[in-house]
Amino acid sequence: MTLEERANVTRGFRSDNVCAGNTGSVPRLGWPGMCVHDAGNGVRATDLVNSYPSGIHVGASWDRNLTYERGFYMGKEFKAKGVNVSLGPNAGPLGRTPLGGRNWEGFSVDPYLSGQLNAETIIGMQEAGVIANIKHFIANEQETLRRPYFGVEAVSANIDDRTLHEYYLWPFMDSVHAGVGSVMCSYNRINNTYGCKNNKLMNGILKTELGFQGFVMLDWDAQHDLQSANNGLDMVMPLDGSWGKKLIDAVANGMVISVFLNADFTGYRIIAAWYLVGQDGDKFPAAGIGLKQLTQPHEQVDARDPASQPVILEGAVAGHVLVKNQNDALPLKRGLTMISVFGYDATIPRTKNTDLLFQHGYTSSPEMGQAVLGHEAHFDQAAKGGTIVTGGRAGANSPAYIDDPLSAIQHRARKDGTWVNWDLDSSNPDVNAASDACIVFINAIATEGWDREGLHDDFSDHLVKNAASKCPNTIVVIHAAGIYLVDQWIEHPNITAAIIAHLPGQDSGKALVKLLYGEANFSGKLPYTIAKKESDYPVYEPCKRISADDINPQCDFTEGVYLDYRAFDAKGITPRFEFGYGLSYTSFNYSSLSIEPSKYLRQSSCSGDNIWQPAAKVAATITNTGSVSGQEVAQLYVAIPNSPPKQLRGFNKVLLSPQGSETVQFELTRRDFSIWDVVSQSWVIQEGEYEIFVGASSRDIRLRGTLRVANS
């Protein structure tokens, strides 16, 4: 390639499609260029696609198989629309602050659970023929001050080396190990150097330490100067501007190192990923072919595969978490005479916005753009415009339809001969005394560009309490883009059941009704901890400027790896509902723990591929002791010396018929027992006792055992 052709591979160009970005092409060599596009739960800004459950909903399923299938079918839709690179999945933010506006795009606050589900998504997407893009590298843990604006630098996430490796890097390691084709560097600074010009992170850790062979692309417009090209950035998006010309001139003047001239040309990483997933030849549609302007005449491309429908519905079911079920209020009994439905979240939104930016609750439209630049902006996190099936902005897409809760309940009522009342507007609804059950629907929206202002809202809490004061069988359903605190009403004696319904995608109502009536069993578990009060979280609010004159905001991650359940355990704080918690319509017994160490479990340093060597096998028997079929998520935690009291290191979801049993197995690697040693710059297995816990949640431990690591 000529120098100009090489530049074309690595920079963005305008096109006639609505791809989030388009690379240039190399016509002389038949390289067509690529379309890169959002989003995390389906193809964004287009029609004739599906809206899949969002990341947090998938995280609550704790289901590797469903996660892989979701990634595969989403990948097929991206390919049908001519998208070469899908901008997802999401390993950052993990959720350092529970107020994080984009936490819902990721799977979990826990790095192990996040890593496992990101890896499954990547494998599924790339087997479908689309390059996955794991983002945002790294420590992109808040929307507040995420970008520089008006002379104020982006916030600097100041992280020690051990915390970086053991927490924030962990899911990126799994993603690279799964063969991810691309990584997106983040807007924020890390230890006072911007992510997209950070040589230590991109060249030192990602490309050298982790051995990443794909390409690094920036978050949109996150280039700062030409040193980004020297420091590991491979692709600039969305539009080139003057970057390409400056880059070519800098190479000619010797300002940019020779990777643009020799066999290590950075664009080869891009082309290698293109070949990796099979986009060469006539195997892939034209870039952006199904992403034309919707307001202009265009060829319609229906990307929906009928085979995806069971996956979408099953995924919607699996992410619901039952957190309270007093006196077996659920499942609803057959032959109910009357059901009353309350709450703004019960019905379909008034309008359908193809981009779902999202239509609920913004204070004024100009703030949308300002918020992205870091300007303080506010919105009502109670999305009163209708039920939510996803969060907002770049992580969202438009559903083919929305099966809303009220419609689904009415369809079931028609079948059963049940009378349905509804009042979706009042905060203090009248309740028909003959109601057999009252179902109250509330929500909490979140979006790129803003961090949330709290973990609950007064309007929704008052609505719940008012309904419960008049109805002795009140069931609360919360569609939530993150943690929602329930302590204002959860112990009310008339609140018999509560469901964290997360963000189920387009089959929301159908999935919920199957669960309410016992046609499906709850199997979801919380991928985070629900505290009793805000101050229980080790980090609550995002970092802010310390004064109006502060142009260099700093955010010190002094809590280290002690986040969520790790911090609750270490500090002895009792949560309302712990990490990994979730009820079922049946019960499970745990027995017969066995622990078998391998020859690789010994005191030693680990690096390269040997961190993935098997270190131990753990097994346990799970028995369904109830009267209905159900799925249980058996969870394995390890107590590592000089570390948090326990850390998730395995999970296994099994389906069991009544009185049925199955032996679940967990295979642990050397990395699972290691800490990061900052002196040797390697993973190290320490000498000492390692306690093994197997149970139904981080607090509901059923089996315990111990491994001894001797001095090698």
Q: Which two tokens stand for residue 149?
A: 């604006």
3-state secondary structure 156-172: EEECCHHHHHHHHCHHH
On whether the CB atoms of residues 88 and 52 are closer than 8 A, the answer is no
In the block, which residue shows the tokens 């099979």?
278
DSSP letter at 207 equals I
Residues belonging to the chain? 712
Crossing angle of the two packed helices 64-80 and 309-318, in degrees rounded to 10: 140
As a whole number of angstroms, the distance between CA 550 and CA 546 comes to 6
Phi and psi at residue 422, to the nearest 5°: -150, 145
Residue 29 burial by CB count (10 A; 0-12/13-18/19+): exposed, middle or buried? Answer: exposed
Neighbour count for residue 658 (Cβ, 10 Å): 12
Name, in order, each residue with C-beta under 8 angstroms of 458's C-beta and a sequence gap of 6 or more: none
Q: Are 628 and 658 in contact (CB under 8 A)?
A: yes
Quickly count: other Cβ atoms within 10 Å of residue 218's Cβ. Answer: 26
3-state SS assignment for residue 4: helix
CA distance 700 to 595: 19
Residue type, 231: N
For the sheet with 474-480, list strands across it.
Answer: 321-325, 495-500, 474-480, 437-444, 338-342, 419-423
Q: Sign of the CA dihedral 413, 415, 416, 417?
A: positive
Residue from 38, 63, 174, 219 carrying the catalytic annotation: 219
Please count the helices (runs of H) and the strands (runs of E) in the chain: 16, 26
Token pair for residue 312? Answer: 């979408």
Query: Of the candidates 9, 79, 66, 100, which has an alpha carbon nearest to the alpha carbon of residue 37?
Result: 79
Amino acid, res. 182: S
Q: Say how far apart CA 523 and CA 531 lie, in whole Å.
A: 21
Q: Determine which helix (DSSP H) or strand (DSSP E) holds 419, and give its type and residue range.
A: strand 419-423
Q: What is the DSSP string of 229-280?
A: HHTT--B--S--TTHHHHHHHHHHTT-S-GGGTSTT-THHHHHHHHHHTT-S
Structure-block tokens of residue 381: 């996190």
What are the DSSP calls for 279-314, one per residue? -STTSSPPTTTT-B-TTS---------GGGHHHHHH
- Told to judge if 487 belongs to the known catalytic residues of this protein, a careful annotator would answer no
Triad 554, 560, 564: Cα angle to 5°: 110
Tokens found for residue 363: 């204070």
CA–CA dist 3, 582 (Å, integer): 57
Q: Which three-class secondary structure state does DSSP give residue 79? A: helix
Residue 71 CA from chain centroid, whole number: 13
SS3 125: helix
Read off φ and ψ for residue 200, nearest 5 degrees: -60, -45
Catalytic residue annotation: 219
